[in-house]
A and B are shown apart, each in its own frame.
Chain A
Amino acid sequence: MQRIKNYLFLGLLISTLFACEKKDEAQPSIQENQISALLASPEMLNVNNYLFVIDSDIWRDFMPPADSSGRALIATVVISERNHRTFNNSIQLEKVYLINKNELWSKSFDSTDSSSPYQVSGIARNGPKWGPNIKVDLVCEFSYQGERYRLLATDQEIYATY
């Protein structure tokens, strides 16, 4: 009887462990969910017939006096109206997300420039020391006329200066 109880206990334990493992597989982490949601962002947005497109430039500086591990990544992001239609500086760049496989880095823009009538650009400094010469995905979050939007730029190379 004791042996049967032991088998039952062992069976229950194994099934519980498998159940736990299954639960882990079925429910990705918050970060995985966030990455999936970010990667689902469009690459072009049509808002009231304004076509917004994204362009980015990412690099790291290894030139002396930077040490051999290089300086932290810098990203510039430009959101443009594709047909150069004026949007009266009404876009506010909010946040940049960089996705490197399962790693996610995000930051509010350090500075933005909206001097162009159809373009707004932003800079995010002190990023992760990823790469260089790898490709990452970049998402820019911005607000326009009270609404929040995101645009995705895929396969953006991290360049370097030596």
Chain B
Amino acid sequence: MNFIALKNLHLQRIWWAITSPSLLAHPQQTQYFHSPAHLAALAEILRQEDQNPALVNAHFENLGHLPMGRYFEQLLFFILQRDPHYEVLAENRQLFEGKITIGELDLILRNNHSGKLEHWEIALKFYLQVKNNPAPQHMLGPSTQDNLEKKLLKLIGAQLPLSQKDEIRQEFPQLEAKLFVKGIFFYPWQKPFCISAGVSPTHLSGEWLKLSALSKLQTTGDYWRIKNKPAWIGGEIYTKPEAFLSFKELMRDCTKLMQETERPQLIALYTKSEALYTEEKYFVIVGDGWPKSNKV
């Protein structure tokens, strides 16, 4: 049941967003699904949307271009509006002190299964481990400006407590703060690594390597794609081999892109099962000077 053959790209990404494992092992990490039947119900709801994709396409076209993190939030909002187990009460609820915005709660909803009101902080993160050390500051964002330690401090230290503010408590009493954190953590290719403190042991993982080592992946497989944001959000399914780069084309395009932009590239290897190509492995290719000099 963890795989459904959806045709629409937004819906494929929604399925990935709600079924991919959580990145964190924090006690406030939320579990989207209450039961196997809830999962089956969501699969049915997405299949119905997939039969008439005009609605989902129009919804996201109307939102215009969004940064990947905002788009990820919108994917989640879209399905939560259709999920009978949740009732969305507020999206991106801003908090003010006088005329100054002091913060924003990503999502406030009613969990119809438990009957409780919940505040969700939503994050989509991609970090690369640069040192075989469990301290979270060694998990760097591709830009190297961000790391897991900073993100944890922000989420747990600043974002989650927002639901305790008087203004929110008056409107939504007994709000339970939860984390919805998805993404992929990348470990150095064919090198020892360790799981950082606070990270779920079942999180989604990939490997990272330098551009000069990319040729060594040649024997890994035949169906490759360079993923441009927001395609870093996983779950894409293809039906035709023309959608893919051969390894030779991947080497060529990846090298060209990195010379032009100097930005790390996320690439995915696909596997063919019956008539469908699905994501099997994820890699991030970084410049040979990374993490010292980098752009995003």
Interface stretch (choices A1-9, A13-21, A30-38, A71-79): A71-79
Q: Which residues of B lie under 8 Å from residue A80 when comparing CB positions?
A: 36
A78 contacts which of B3, B36, B112 (Cβ < 8 Å)?
Answer: B36
B44 contacts which of A123, A157, A160 (Cβ < 8 Å)?
Answer: A123
Asked if A78 contacts B84 (CB within 8 A), the reply is: no
Give the Cβ gap from A46 to chain B, nearest Cβ, in Å. 19
Whether, in the assembled complex, B35 has its beta carbon less than 8 Å from a beta carbon of chain A, the answer is yes
Across the A-B interface, the 9 shortest Cβ-Cβ residue pairs: A159-B84, A59-B84, A57-B37, A76-B40, A57-B41, A78-B36, A55-B37, A121-B40, A78-B37
- The A interface, classified by DSSP as helix, strand, loop or mixed, is strand
Q: What's the tally of chain B residues with a CB closer than 8 Å to chain A?
A: 16
Whether, in the assembled complex, B31 has its beta carbon less than 8 Å from a beta carbon of chain A, the answer is no
Asked if A74 contacts B1 (CB within 8 A), the reply is: no
Q: List 22 A-B contacts (CB under 8 A).
A: A55-B36, A57-B37, A57-B38, A57-B84, A59-B84, A63-B81, A74-B41, A76-B37, A76-B40, A76-B41, A77-B37, A78-B37, A78-B40, A113-B40, A116-B1, A119-B1, A121-B1, A121-B37, A121-B40, A160-B84, A161-B81, A161-B83
Q: Name which residue of chain B comes closest to A138, CB basis.
A: B37
Q: Which residues of B lie under 8 Å from residue A116 when comparing CB positions?
A: 1
Q: Name which residue of chain B comes closest to A125, CB basis.
A: B44
Q: Name which residue of chain B comes closest to A56, CB basis.
A: B37
Asked if B40 contacts A123 (CB within 8 A), the reply is: yes
Q: Name which residue of chain A comes closest to B33, CB basis.
A: A57
Using A76-B40, A115-B1 as known contacts, say yes or no to A55 and B35 having CB atoms under 8 A apart. Answer: yes
Among B73-94, those with CB < 8 Å from A are 81-85, 87
A57 contacts which of B1, B40, B82 (Cβ < 8 Å)?
Answer: B40
Give the Cβ gap from A133 to chain B, nearest Cβ, in Å. 9
Give the Cβ gap from B110 to chain A, nearest Cβ, in Å. 12
Asked if B37 contacts A161 (CB within 8 A), the reply is: no
A117 to B82, CA, bound (A): 29
Among A110-132, those with CB < 8 Å from B are 113, 115-116, 119, 121, 123
A113 to B43, CA, bound (A): 11
Among A139-155, those with CB < 8 Å from B are none
Q: Which residues of A lie under 8 Å from residue B37 when comparing CB positions?
A: 55-57, 76-78, 121
Among B241-258, those with CB < 8 Å from A are none
Q: Name which residue of chain B comes closest to A156, CB basis.
A: B37
Give the Cβ gap from A130 to chain B, nearest Cβ, in Å. 14
The winner among A59, A63, A74, A116 for most chain B CB atoms within 10 A is: A59
Give the Cβ gap from B144 to chain A, nearest Cβ, in Å. 41
Q: Which residues of B lie under 8 Å from residue A76 when comparing CB positions?
A: 37, 40-41, 44
Q: Name which residue of chain B comes closest to A162, CB basis.
A: B87
Among B19-66, those with CB < 8 Å from A are 35-38, 40-41, 44
